[in-house]
Amino acid sequence: MENLKAEIKTRIEMINRGEVPEGYKKTKVGGIIPEDWELKRLKEVAPLQRGGFDLPKYEIKHGEYPVCYSNGILNYHCSYKALGPGVFTGRSGTIGNVFFMLKIIIGPHNTSLWVTDFRDNHPKYIYYMYGFIKLERFNAGTSVPTLNRNDVHMHKIAIPNKKKNKKKSPKSFLSGTEL
């Protein structure tokens, strides 16, 4: 274990100096990533869609299904619009917080954005990924914080190449307890 920690520390120090450790490569945008990883736009990894389910408070009929707003679950309704698992975030009003729902049925409100296609990535991996990239930096609003999914979709991230190395697919980064 100590050898592994020392090896990781050495790699990090090399990368911080701009050196490329063995088994890594420099990307076109200047980052250093493992050789079997690739840069992809977020729209190619897990695209976001506007919630689109407008449910005014006066139309809510109390039930067991959560209504997912820009700042989390604020209500429960008697019917649902989409099946979980789900990853959603704020589109208008509150942006930057990312929420994950595993087995329950979700109803994304029109103030939220939600992942509609996980593209063979584990939903929990996508949740961590969107949380890591700090969505609030894509704020396009002036008086009301607003997240434009088209801006987010153009952002590039490093992700394991699933075709080259099945062992290092995003699913493999999650332990059995997180699945």
Give the pLDDT confidence of 91-147 residue by residue, as tens digits: 888 888 898 987 655 666 677 888 989 998 889 999 999 999 999 999 888 888 888
CATH class of 37-160: alpha beta
Alpha helices in 17-170 (DSSP H): 42-45, 123-132, 149-154
Contact 68, 114 (CB under 8 A): yes
Cβ count near 95 (within 10 Å)? 27
Domain positions in the chain: 37-160
Q: Which two tokens mark 17?
A: 């100096």
The β-bridge relationship of strands 65-69 and 107-108 is parallel
Give the pLDDT confidence of 105-118 residue by residue, as tens digits: 566 667 788 898 99
B/e letters for 45-72, b = 16+ CB within 10 Å, e = fewer, are: bbbbbbbebebeeeeeeeeebbbbbbbe
The model scores a pTM over 0.85: no
Give the pLDDT confidence of 33-57 residue by residue, as tens digits: 999 999 999 999 999 988 767 777 7
- Confidence band (pLDDT; 50, 70, 90) for 170? low
Question: How far is the C-alpha of 94 from the C-alpha of 174, rounded, in Å?
Answer: 28
